[in-house]
Amino acid sequence: MSRLLVRFALFLAVFTSLALADQVTLKNGDRITGTIVKSDGKTLVLHTSSLGDVTINYSDIAQITTDQQLHVTANGTTSVGTVTTTDSKLEITTKTGTVEAAKDSVTLIRNDAEQAAYDKSLHPGMMKGWNGGLNLGFSLARGNSQTENLGLAFNAAHPTLNDKITMYATSVYSRNDAPNATPSVIANLITGGLRYDRNITPRLFAFVGADFMSDALQGLNLRSVGSVGLGFHAIKNAKTTLDLLAGGNYTHATYVAYTTQAPPVRYIQNQNSGGLTLGEEFAHLLGKATSINQKFFFYPDLSDSAYRGEFDFGTVTKIAKRLGWQNQFTDIYVSNPPSPAKKNDVVFTTGINFSFAN
């Protein structure tokens, strides 16, 4: 008697699991039972108890029958309910009725868990959804020359469905330790900033940002720039983005300057100005391993004929999942630095990139 009960219990468990499962029938007649996870209209992922996740070509599917409700997007409209197929059509039984859609018009299918994860990714908390990287470059020379060069860079972005936060910081320091070397510090440049973008339409966005810079060799203690304006997504797809930006800014800069008399006298020079912010930002994924990032910003003053410009070009090539090789070129131009500082600074760094994503 006990054996009969055990067999009945096992039969009931198997029958119940089969009854609650989804079933996919292929055009060759094969049937696969499991739980439908998602589909992008090209492939369908089915989770099975014995094989794990199985990926099926969507075009090879003849029929779908589900016991769970799915989120089905077809012709730009999403319906939620159980799914059956009849004569190359999907019938979604929702709470309010049955919705029909051509099988080939389906672009997305998600179960409840996948839909919840997708919705969460659109509105991540401030502690999640970040991506970016840290660049590190160092060189040391000894012998006929005694130089040390250190380059650091940090960038991070927090994109959501409607807005994006970006942050960056760079530091370049070079020193010549040779006896009686003048100057001993060859480069000492620090930049940083953050920006907030808010979408107005799928193409148009507003932005507000702050940028900071210190350049010891140019005598620049600190330059603070506050910008506000509008941007336009000229190109925006999985591989390439091109943003055009225009707005206004207020700049406050503090320089260390020297008089031309002998001996020279050190004094602080302040510059305050309002100007325009004009720029473009370009990013492109070259193949599967290399990304290209380029930007150019032009800041003409409205109070006089002075202006500033900054051009950046960088590449990162993946070596491993979180490790890559980076190259960065930067050209910073200021039309009116205090004498005797030069107008142009050109910096090139290369080294290791550590990427992260949360």
Going along the chain from its start, the domains and CATH numbers come out as: 17-122 (no CATH), 131-357 (2.40.160.40)
Amino acid at 202: P
**pLDDT higher than 50, residue 31:** yes
pLDDT digits (tens, 9 = 90+) for 225-262: 999 999 999 998 878 999 999 999 999 988 886 666 77
Distance CA 172, CA 253 (A): 20
* pLDDT confidence band for 7 (50 / 70 / 90): low
Amino acid at 39: S
**pLDDT higher than 70, residue 145:** no
* pLDDT confidence band for 339 (50 / 70 / 90): low
pTM above 0.85, yes or no: no
* Structure-token pair, residue 77: 């409209």
Distance CA 286, CA 282 (A): 13
CA distances (Å), origin 334, targets 222, 267, 307: 14, 20, 6
For residue 183, cis peptide bond before it (omega within 30 degrees of 0): yes
Question: The dihedral of CA 39, 45, 48, 52: what is its sign?
Answer: negative
Beta strands 98-102 and 106-111 are unpaired
pLDDT digits (tens, 9 = 90+) for 318-337: 998 889 999 988 888 988 77
Phi, psi dihedrals of residue 128, rounded to the nearest 5°: -130, 160
**pLDDT higher than 50, residue 285:** yes
**pLDDT higher than 50, residue 19:** no
* Structure-token pair, residue 235: 């190109």
The per-residue pLDDT for 352 is: 93
